[in-house]
Amino acid sequence: MTAPFAGFGLGLRKPHYAKFLEHRVPVDFVEVISENFMVEGGRPRQILRDVRARYPIALHGVSMSIGSADGLDGAYLARLRALVDEIEPLFVSDHLSWTRIEGFSSHDLLPLPYTSEALDLVCANIARAQDALGRAMLVENPSTYIDFSPADMTEWQFLDAMCARTGCGLLLDVNNVFVSASNHGFDPIAYLDGVPHHRVRQIHLAGHSMGEDLLIDTHDQPVPGSVWDLYAYVLPRLGPVATMIERDDDIPPLADLLAELAVARNIGRKHMRQAA
Amino acid sequence: MSLIELQRDLRDWLVREDRWSARRLGDDAAPGLRVYLNNYRAQLVACLDDSFARTRDWIGEAAFRQSVIAHVERVPPSSWTLDAYTRDFPATLSLLYPSDAEVAELAWIDCALGEAFVGPDASVADAAMLGEIDWDNAMLHFTPTLDLGDLSTNAPAIWSALAAGDMPPAVEYLPEPGAVLVWRHEQVSRFRAIDQIERQALLAARGGLSFADMCEGIVAACGQDRGVALSGQLLGQWLADGLISRVEERPVSI
């Protein structure tokens, strides 16, 4: 059996396309936003093909809407499947959230209540998506700004049950754990202890900003110390896992992101050895 | 509250800032609801900002911002892709600027260029390979990114000047309705203004009329000599533009 992929990568964003295509950037993989490339043709799709010829790619979606009470969009799944078939990605992921209801698309990741009703629905939607894609997907824990208490379970219990019932993997966003823990007052260590460690296939690291009342998952800052600490805490508890730095706004020079990735590699080297 | 009721309430908060929906989501939800509302609006504003640069240059930052706010209030997004959110903005501008037709026409050009940029790939017919074609039975197939818009002003000239950083010309209304043609060639979205003869010819040929029948239509509109010459010119122009993806000979019935 092949060991799970455990490389270190970056989110590939427009300002750095040329560098990734003109040079051999020292990353093990890149992650792209699926929807940016679920187009019929033209330069974006060609760029993705060219990148794929040089680097393994993870496809990360924002619009599957696995929490939609009225189900998934079949046309969306068909387009994603076509992209998956062409790119043959390492991972296909999306979020534990919803964006679509009754013909409305929010284009923002909206929160779910952690109830039995929501769990049944999310599991049914993931099962349909995995059938349509012909593979298991990864589901990412979200940053949330509303806590629909009282709930039937915690977010980590929800993720555990969801993985067990659908066979999907987890994309553990350590920054999102920190942001939601800060906003809702739960212990991030209890969260990291509670997620199903053997299901985690990929980790996201990112930065956040303080809003008016809440921490916001802005992805416009370097990874802060609080997130590095949680990463170092959880890593020895996981098996081999891929790690990625996510930066979507105020995107710095590529060298800065590679320096952050080097920090992740150092922590990874130390703690994955402990896990082995 | 069921999941679908919760999702309808959150939608109504985002789309209409509905206070009753917000209240049903809980008193403690107010700070979070403000974050989601801000994120929702910011995404849509950024999408329109990115997609309508020349329209913004023309009407100015403040007027553009007001138009975007009006559009976000008027048209909630319905597709999984933000690319689709651009499609109705020209119609909103028509309502906001009923006496300034060039505004919506500039927006249509901005939007169509964006759509062509990510439209389907297609081969381009090689003019050198067309010597043996039986033109009496030829059918033209066009690049799938070809799009046609109506034109009543010199919006294409304004767009080009703005894109080049030049002083744009004053608005001029065309003596008769025109059209603007948008397509992608060699990974670059392009456009040019066309007259009604070319528009009709393109629509006819794209609709399945043979090249010969299309020429007959041009001859009927322009007279024999001019019609024949114009048909040849149009074919040459379309080939040079990369508008024709292939030329097929229609089977001859015996």
Is the CB of A69 less than 8 angstroms away from the CB of B4? yes
Q: Residue B79: its pLDDT value, please?
A: 97
pLDDT of residue A270: 85
Cβ <8 Å between B40 and A44: no
Lowest mean pLDDT among A123-132, A147-156, A267-276, B64-73: A267-276
* Structural domains of chain A ordered from first start: 8-275 (3.20.20.150)
Q: Is the pLDDT of residue B145 over 90?
A: yes
Distance from CA of A3 to the nearest CA of B (A): 35
A224-251 pLDDT per residue, tens: 999 999 999 999 999 889 999 999 999 9
Taking only the tens place, the pLDDT of each residue in B236-248 is 999 999 999 999 9
pLDDT in tens, B161-181: 999 999 999 999 999 999 999
Q: Is the pLDDT of residue B252 over 80?
A: no
| Lowest model confidence (mean pLDDT) among A134-138, A200-204, B55-59, B223-227 | B223-227
Mean pLDDT of A205-214: 95
Min Cα distance A134 → chain B (Å) is 21
Q: What pLDDT score does A275 carry?
A: 58
Judge whether residue B206 has pLDDT over 90: yes
Q: Which helix (H) or strand (E) holds A36?
A: helix A34-37
**Which tokens is A254 given?**
């590529």
State the average pLDDT over residues B38-49.
97
Give the 3-state secondary structure of chain B: CCHHHHHHHHHHHHHHCCHHHHHHCCHHHHHHHHHHHHHHHHHHHHHHHHHCHHHHHHHCHHHHHHHHHHHHHHCCCCCCCHHHHHCCHHHHHHHHCCCCHHHHHHHHHHHHHHHHHCCCCCCCCCHHHHCCCCHHHEEEEECCCCEEEEEEECHHHHHHHHHHCCCCCCCCEEEEEEEEEEEEECCEEEEEEECHHHHHHHHHHHCCCCHHHHHHHHHHHHCHHHHHHHHHHHHHHHHHHCCEEEEEECCCCC
Mutation for B interface: A106, A119, A249, most B CBs within 10 A: A106
- Please report the pLDDT score of residue B253 as a whole number: 63
pLDDT at A276: 54
pLDDT reading at A110 higher than 70: yes
pLDDT of residue A130: 98
Query: In A, residues 92-111, which contact B (CB 8 Å cutoff)?
Result: 98-108, 110-111
Q: Is residue A271 over pLDDT 90?
A: no
- Residues A147-157: tens digit of each pLDDT: 998 899 999 99
Task: For residue B122, list chain A residues with Cβ-Cβ distance below 8 A.
Answer: 41
Q: Is the pLDDT of residue A1 over 70?
A: no
Mutation target for B interface from A17, A80, A107, A114: give the one with most B CBs within 10 A. Answer: A107
